[in-house]
Chains A and B, each alone.
Chain A
Amino acid sequence: MNQYKLKELVLSFLYTCILLVVLEVFSATFLPSVGLSSYILSFHILVVLFIGFRVQTIYQPYLILMVELIHSVFTIEGWAIGTLAGIIVTSLISYLKDMIQLNSRLSTIIVVQIFQVIWFVLVSSLISIKLGDFSYILTRFWRFLPESFLLSLISPFFFIVLMKFWGTKKSLKGVRI
């Protein structure tokens, strides 16, 4: 079980937020400006998953809320749907923690992909319920697949960076819990 002093928690989270803003700008501005506007990388999901896997604190729900509030600046999706999905996914992670072994890059990629699918199902269902139209889930799913694969491939390296922010000295091969 990880223990963080409040100051460490705030600082680590601040660095994470700065990284998130840079990546959101990269994803929402740089990629479309070079013609890659069809696919958008949702880095906020990786941040929330990392918080779920690695940052065990009573403030976890508020960290997720803050991540989604920052994300909402760059999307009209808003903060609420992502927060709801984030809370459900991280609760699921904490229940399944004993079964999840993120001790290699491959296992990290697979686990992240699985949780991205769960995230997608939750968010798409919520949006579809709000819109009263489920016909777009499949269309969205085909767009989601390549984006999520790419994010999953990036995830081991992304988590290594985040682990540095969160002061861990554990293996760089994956995220060990």
Chain B
Amino acid sequence: MKIAISENSKIKLINILLVLIFSIYGVSKKSFKHDEVSTFQSVMMEVFAPLQQGTMSLKERVDYVFTHYFFLIETSKKNQILKKKIQELENAIFQFEEVQKENERLKELLKFGEDIPREKVLAQVVGWDSSNEFKVLRINKGKKDGIKLKSPVITINGLVGYVYRLSNNYSDILTILDQNNRVDSIVSRTRSHGIIEGLANFKARLKYVVRTEPVEIGDMVITAGLGNIYPKGIKVGKITNIEKESYGLTQSIEITPTVDFHRLEEVVVLIAREEEQKE
């Protein structure tokens, strides 16, 4: 079967129009607040997300090999028997320390959420959004683990975001760095109310704070508990810049999130109980 474009320009035009109409419909239906995945997307996520998880483990293994290579260089100066023993011990210590560090991190994470009356699911970050428009990360827990749409996600350092879409084993988290994520917040010291939105360069901004409010650089901003997504009192970030124009009702406040998104490895998903969700 030969496809000759010149003879089929009408068909091509019809195809273009069909896809164009389909995509315009898709754009009109698109929501940046939360998303129900289609069967196709769910299947594809299930197929490709393990690749992402595998890439993360491969990277960790490469790190591990590099570390041990350098250990070998260090110990090669010693005699063969000691070298072998030292290598074994160092291997064991290294692995033990890694496990211990992970245990401590996970324990702290779980302990951190003790006072929040929600079910908690620990998850590992396996990837970031592949578009520069959005600040979204993917975790290795999904519907099967009891995660629900719009569940808040935290770490010991503070708020990460909420569950935007999920498949059976993976979820995408819309982080507080994304401009589509709006967090109802208060400045802890002054109780000034505002809305946090994502900004460029891993920062966020606090909007709608009346310019007469005496907020200062270094003030901690926490969740207000309004908006039915985030529980009250979770740390969001610190004020790092304030700009007061000579006009206008509000002030422009820059927030540096308390969570270090560059080093995010594990997170906790808070799942509301059934009765809480109904409310």
Count contacts on A: residues with CB < 8 A to the other chain: 64
Let me know if B180 and A131 touch, CB within 8 A: yes
Of all chain A residues, the one with the shortest Cβ separation from B127 is: A29
Q: Which residues does chain A contribute within 8 Å of B201, judged by CB atoms?
A: 38
Interface stretch (choices A106-114, A138-146, A160-168): A138-146
Q: Which residues does chain B contribute within 8 Å of A30, judged by CB atoms?
A: 55, 59
Query: Residue A15 at the B interface, CB < 8 A?
Result: no
Question: Which of these, B56, B130, B136, B174, contacts A27 with CB under 8 Å?
Answer: B130
Interface stretch (choices B2-10, B64-72, B80-88, B97-105): B2-10
Scoring B residues 247 to 265 as 1 if CB is less than 8 Å from chain A, else 0, what string do you get? 0000000000000011000
Q: Which residues does chain A contribute within 8 Å of B3, judged by CB atoms?
A: 3-6, 9, 57-59
Q: How far is the CB of B199 from chain A (nearest CB, A)?
A: 7
Within 8 A of B (CB), among A50-90: 56-62, 64-65, 69-81, 83-84, 87
Let me know if A73 and B132 touch, CB within 8 A: no
Query: Residue A21 at the B interface, CB < 8 A?
Result: yes
Q: Which residues does chain B contribute within 8 Å of A123, judged by CB atoms?
A: 133
Q: Which residues does chain A contribute within 8 Å of B56, judged by CB atoms?
A: 29, 33
Query: Residue A40 at the B interface, CB < 8 A?
Result: yes
Complex Cα gap A33–B2 (Å): 45
Let me know if A5 and B179 touch, CB within 8 A: no
Let me know if B22 and A65 touch, CB within 8 A: yes
Question: Which of these, A60, A78, A131, A147, contacts B15 with CB under 8 Å?
Answer: A60
Let me know if B200 and A130 touch, CB within 8 A: no
Complex Cα gap A70–B212 (Å): 49
Q: Which residues does chain B contribute within 8 Å of A96, judged by CB atoms?
A: none
Of all chain A residues, the one with the shortest Cβ separation from B20 is: A87
Q: How far is the CB of A134 from chain B (nearest CB, A)?
A: 12
Q: Which residues does chain A contribute within 8 Å of B59, judged by CB atoms?
A: 30, 33-34
